[in-house]
Structure 1
Amino acid sequence: MNRIAHILSWVLSPILIPTYAVFAALWITPLAMLPADIRWNVVIVTALVTCVLPAFAIMLLYWMKIISDPGLNNRTERLAPYVLTILCYCACAWYLYSIHSPHWMWMFMVAGACTAVVSCIINTWWKISAHAAAMAGFTAMLFRIAADHIAIVPIWPYIAASIFLCGALCTSRMLLDRHTFWQVTAGSANGFLMVYLLTM
């Protein structure tokens, strides 16, 4: 069970969720009418900015012994990675805005940055779950797509799968003793509300 929990924690890492979200947005909304090479370019740039760059920076901090765990399980070592993540989300939002993506799409990244700011502030005294916040934010994006009636495929199976994965991820974080029930609940509320409200 712990092995599954570890796999879920890595596969649904906060630095991967933005790429999943952009991929979903480009394949289940009218944006799917764009040429495939354009869509893949957007996914790749998003992955580089919000995944590869933060991952490299975290490993660099680890190699320099500024942080003791690349998984950032020590609450007191999260400030620098949080700040970097916020900057990366902002950079990706600017990129999506510059290529004239829909308002809700680039605002998803702004909402991600705002979620990280809230998490960073709370993290100074309490270890709120970034994993839960990211996955709940992804779920909120799907709900927003459904609410705005812009899905070109049946959206509810995707929403159901996302809710299931969010629950499984939160359970995994508790099984691994990374967070308590209230920490994953607070993280989920932070991510969901921020994305759903800011992408209106």
Structure 2
Amino acid sequence: MNVDAAADMTDEVRRGGPAYRLAKVLGVVLGPGLLVSVQPFIVALDQNGDGTLAARLAWAGVILLSCAAGPLAVREIWILRGKVTSGRRVHERTERLAPLTVALGVVAAGVAALHFGHAPADLRALVWAMLAGLLVTRVVTAVWKISVHTAVMAGTVAILVLVVGPWAALATPLVPLVAWSRVRTRAHTLAQVVAGAIMGAGVAYSVFAALT
């Protein structure tokens, strides 16, 4: 057996090990889809926000459809049309550009719905933060594969701190955990996950804080 073959075999064993399987699970459980789905309801349950609880939860449902289900549907349509060849997570950077652009339009429609529907201010701030984060991601992805997973995880923690309070910073270790899972599965490099975390937290915190 030559050196290259031995290295390939070792890599396959490492990929099939418990650490690799855990990393794959974390990538799903702490993935952008779930986090974006949960964020609006956390904000909606904030008792300091304006509007009735029923109305706030209804608007959270609108955000769920436009900012979570919408982009997910766009990705699935791209896969069904055979536009994606790098797996369901769209690992190839260039294959992310078109669905990200369409997703921007879907999220922008959600922003418009909340604005013209006079939704509570904090929920409008949330969708603006989501739109801003997605826009920056699209721009960066044109030249570099920044990590969406760590961007959304870090952004979620930033929103939690602003809505729930400083103790929500206890969730911060989830950011490096997600970063580890993305590097461990070779979905991203260390630089890409770190950049995603910094961008996600910075954009979410600054936009949400400025609008609330």
Question: What TM-score bracket applies, with the shorter chain setting the length?
Answer: 0.7 to 0.9
The CA deviation at 1:32 is 8.9
Task: Tell me which amino acid in the other structure corresponds to 2:97.
Answer: L
Tell me which residue corresponds to 2:170.
160
Tell me which residue corresponds to 1:190.
199
Which residue of 37, 46, 56 corresponds with 2:73? Answer: 56
Cα gap change, 1:100 to 1:66, in 2 (>3 Å) = same
Cα gap change, 1:7 to 1:34, in 2 (>3 Å) = farther
CA distance in structure 2 between the aligned counterparts of 1:29 and 1:13, rounded to whole angstroms: 27
Structure 1 residues 47-126: aligned runs within 5 Å: 47-68=64-85, 69-126=87-144
The CA deviation at 1:40 is 3.5
Cα gap change, 1:75 to 1:189, in 2 (>3 Å) = same
CA distance in structure 1 between the aligned counterparts of 2:73 and 2:117, rounded to whole angstroms: 26
CA deviation string 1:69-106 (max 9, x = no partner)? 22111111001121122222222222332343343432
The CA deviation at 1:65 is 0.9
Runs (5+) with no aligned partner, structure 1: 146-150
Task: Tell me which amino acid in the other structure corresponds to 2:107.
Answer: Y
CA distance in structure 2 between the aligned counterparts of 1:93 and 1:121, rounded to whole angstroms: 19
Overall identity of the aligned pairs, in %? 25
CA deviation string 1:21-71 (max 9, x = no partner)? 111111234249833x43432232222222222222211211211111221
Classify the secondary structure of the residue corresponding to 2:32.
coil
Classify the secondary structure of the residue corresponding to 1:16.
helix
On the 8 A contact 2:50/2:120 being kept in 1, the answer is no
The structure with the larger Rg is: 2
CA distance in structure 2 between the aligned counterparts of 1:109 and 1:23, rounded to whole angstroms: 12
Cα gap change, 1:90 to 1:33, in 2 (>3 Å) = closer
Q: TM-score, normalization: structure 1?
A: 0.83
Which residue of 7, 19, 36 corresponds with 1:18? Answer: 36
Q: Which has the higher contact order (CA 8 A, sep 6+)?
A: 1
Q: Does 1:177 align with 2:186?
A: yes
Q: Does 1:44 align with 2:55?
A: no
Q: TM-score, normalization: structure 2?
A: 0.79
Classify the secondary structure of the residue corresponding to 2:194.
helix
